[in-house]
Chains A and B, each alone.
Chain A
C-alpha cells in the first residue's frame, strides 16, 4: 500500500484566499483524522471521521475551517478565507478498527499564508 497520501505538499497563498488540502487514507481504514502542527501549540486534532461520517469537529478553530469526506478514499480540509495564523503543517492520518489504535500519518501539507 502507498500509505496515506496528501496533496499538495507545500502551499503558499495570500491572506483571504481559499485553500483546499487533500487526503487519501490507506485502503480499508475506517477512521480518518486531520491534525495541525505548529511550534507553539504542537499537534492538535482538528476533526475526525468514522466510515466517512464526521464524529468530532470540536478542534476546528473556527467557521473558516471545514472538512468533508465524500467517500472512503478521499477527504478535504478547506480554509476560507485563509489568514496568516493558519500557517502550519497539516497532517492527515488514518487507522483501522478503533479510533485510539495505531494511526498512520501522511507526509503533511506545509501551508504558508502571507
Chain B
C-alpha cells in the first residue's frame, strides 16, 4: 500500500492565493521531502524536513511535520502561474524493504489560475 498519500488529489486556486497540500504516511520515517514535477519533466526537490523537526521554510514554501499524526503539510504562499505542477511527498526510508530509498505518494496536481 502507498506510504505517502497526498490530499487533495487536485487543487485549483487563483494566482496570489495560498495553496496548502497535505501528506499522510504510515510507518516511521527518517525524513519527509516534497518534490515538484512539471508536466513532462523529472521531479525537482523542494524541501526536506527531518523527523526531529516540526517546521521548515524555504522562500515561499513552508512545511510542517507532525510525527504523532504521521502527517505533513506544504504551504505555498502568494502562488504564481509558474507554481502549476504536481507536488509529491516522499518519505525515507523506503517502505518496500530496503533500508534506503524513498516512497512517493501519488501527488497533488496544483493549478494556478491567472
Contacts and interface: CB of A to CB of B under 8 A. Distances in A.
Binding partners A and B: yes
Interface of A: 4, 31, 33, 35, 42-43, 45, 48, 50, 55-56, 58-59, 91, 93, 98-108
Contacts, number: 76
A102 B107 contact: no
B8 interface: no
B97 A105 contact: no
Query: Mostly helix, strand, loop or mixed at chain B's interface?
Result: loop
Interface of B: 2, 30-31, 33, 35, 41-45, 48, 88, 90, 92-94, 96-107
Contact of A56 (B44, B48, B101, B107): B101
Nearest to A110: B40
Nearest to B48: A102
Given A91-B43, A105-B43, 15 more contacts: A35-B104, A42-B106, A48-B100, A50-B100, A55-B98, A56-B98, A99-B93, A99-B94, A99-B98, A100-B92, A100-B93, A100-B94, A105-B42, A107-B41, A108-B42
